[in-house]
Amino acid sequence: MSARDWGVLFVLCGAIFLEGIDVAMLNVALPSIRSELGLSTGELQWVMSAYVLGYGGFMLLGGRAADLFGRRRMFVFWLTVFLLFSGLGGFATDGWTLIVARFVTGVAAAFMTPAGLSIITTSFEEGPRRDKALLVYSGTAAGGFSIGLVVGGLLTAVDWRWVFFAPVVLSFLVLTAALALLPRSPRPDRTGESVDLAGSVSVTAAIVLLVLGVERASHTGIGWTLGTLAAGLVLLAVFVAVERRSASPLVRLGIFRGGPLVRANLSALLFAGGFFGFQFLVVLYLQELRGWSTLQTSFAMIVIGIDAVLSPTLTPKLVARFGNARVIFGGLLLAALAYALFLPVGADWTYPMMFPSLIILGLAFALAYGPLTIAATDGIEEREQGLAGGLLYTSFQFGAALGLSAVTAVNVAATDGDSPAALLDGYHAALVVPLAAALLAALVSAFGLRSPKGTAVAYGETPARPETAAR
């Protein structure tokens, strides 16, 4: 790639690194935030849930906005919003200020992330150059999350507010680089296209309610959860009806006729659910049962971050040699192996006994995450790249919320008391959830192995056929 290409990629990788490190650092800092601000358990949960709702609920709208209003324009504007409200979180003196700041930060990420991804997919032609760019991009995202676990622990030891101020500094640097390096593009031609307001409102409300129902399932009654999910599904049906009749739909329903895109998004949802659910359980095991400190836990899990090295180095070679679909399938099988190896975890396991699961999971992430990103955007017309990115990240975010809620619910149901034996029983039961998710994801992805090398037919690495352009 040319120096200009690397400059563009540097900016976009900086933004996705920022998003990853922001989430990871906050996870580590939550106990300190609760202690200083005197937050209840419910308020503390909302500090996390608010970001998830903003991020997951507005992602689809954010992806389409990039297509309609300009990718660079959306990226720069929402990066600025991210910077401002991250700073507001650092100055918070009460729970609700922090919750509002996290919600708006999540909304900003929902617009910024698909805009950044679509800049890559439209700046690099489909093929090896785009694949390499996307794998570097996905490796940087993973690196941000892994490094954030350690950096968050270090900053929290000084003052938890630096967990919010550090992203402000990084955001400013990325914003400055974006203004200088991201190429300007002409305003998108929206002749004959109007903003699908009814579709935007209905799908955003539907996704917010669905994510909220899943996110809060383990913290509220069954009636409230079912009611929220039912309302979300009703609004989703309203959205589909609106899109069928709209002359300029927010989401062209014909995009779902492509089996590769659907498979990629389903696999991403299940993979994210298993991955984040497993990490959550490992943190509980190390801190609640073993009594490890936050920093010890962070250093123990940083080995998963090996994917930040492998994604741009090993994965491109494997994709070139075996095809995208086979690499994804292999990554999902490795994830299932990692979870299976951790199933018999004992109360006195040494770190070397945990290490195989963690290192294999890092390899699995390297093989699955980047290629899934390629799979979800290949063969999609340029004018819909933002939408494709929004769909993918909605799948990841909803999957993460679903996985966290499922493992929490199973863990709570299977834990009878607070003795070490009871806690361990809860972990053993909940660890089945990530394993089941990984196996189901592998099953879904297996349907993409029909082509000779598991590439073009399997995951849409050929241009979309003319008929798929019809609504």
Average pLDDT over residues 248-260: 77
pLDDT, one tens digit per residue, over 407-449 is 888 888 888 888 888 889 999 999 999 999 999 999 999 987 7
Distance CA 432, CA 428 (A): 7
| Each residue's pLDDT tens digit, 321-351 | 888 899 999 999 999 999 999 999 999 899 9
Specify the pTM. 0.81
Instruction: Give Cβ neighbours of residue 312 (< 8 Å, ≥ 6 apart).
Output: 132, 135, 136, 139
Superfamily of 1-183 according to CATH:
MFS general substrate transporter like domains (1.20.1250.20)
CA distance 265 to 393: 9
Asked whether the beta carbons of 51 and 105 are under 8 A apart, the reply is: yes
CA distances from 337 to 226, 288, 330, 349, 429 (A): 33, 25, 11, 18, 17
Residue 43's pLDDT is: 74
Other C-beta atoms lying within 10 Å of the C-beta of residue 128: 12
Task: Show Cβ contacts of residue 243 under 8 Å, excluding neighbours closer than 6 positions.
Answer: 196, 199, 249, 250, 251, 252, 253
Q: Which of 313, 55, 30 is nearest to 149 (CA)?
A: 30
End-to-end Cα separation, the chain, in angstroms: 36
Comparing 1-183 with 254-465, is the CATH topology the same?
yes
Which DSSP string do the residues of 419-431 spell out, in sequence order? SHHHHHHHHHHHT
Tell me the mean pLDDT in the region 304-319: 85
Residues 243-256: what's their mean pLDDT?
Answer: 79
- Burial string for 286-304 (b: 16+ CB within 10 Å, else e) reads beebeebebbebbebbbbb
Confidence of residue 453 (pLDDT cuts 50, 70, 90): very low
pLDDT tops 70 at residue 464:
no
User: Which letter does DSSP use for residue 455 in this model?
Assistant: S
The answer to whether the beta carbons of residues 212 and 189 sit under 8 Å apart is no
Q: What is the pLDDT of residues 203-235, one digit of tens each?
A: 888 887 887 787 677 677 788 889 999 998 999
Give pLDDT tens digits for 96-147: 899 999 999 999 998 999 899 889 888 888 888 888 888 888 888 877 877 8
- Give 3-state DSSP helix, strand, coil % of the chain, rounded to 5: 80, 0, 20
CA distance 158 to 456: 51
- Give CA–CA dist 104/97, Å, rounded: 11
- Which residues in 145-164 are b (16+ Cβ under 10 Å) and which e? bbbbbbbbbebbeeebbbbb
Within 8 A by CB and 6+ apart from 65, the residues are 74, 111, 115, 386
Average pLDDT, the chain: 84
The pLDDT > 90 percentage for the chain reads 30
Euclidean distance between CA atoms 165 and 73, whole angstroms:
24
Query: How confident is the model over 141-178, as pLDDT tens digits?
Result: 877 877 887 888 788 888 889 999 999 999 999 999 99
Domain extent listing, the chain? 1-183, 197-249, 254-465
Task: Give the tens place of pLDDT for each residue, 280-305.
Answer: 888 888 888 888 887 788 888 888 88
d(CA 46, CA 95) in angstroms, rounded, equals: 9
For 254-465, give the CATH class: mainly alpha
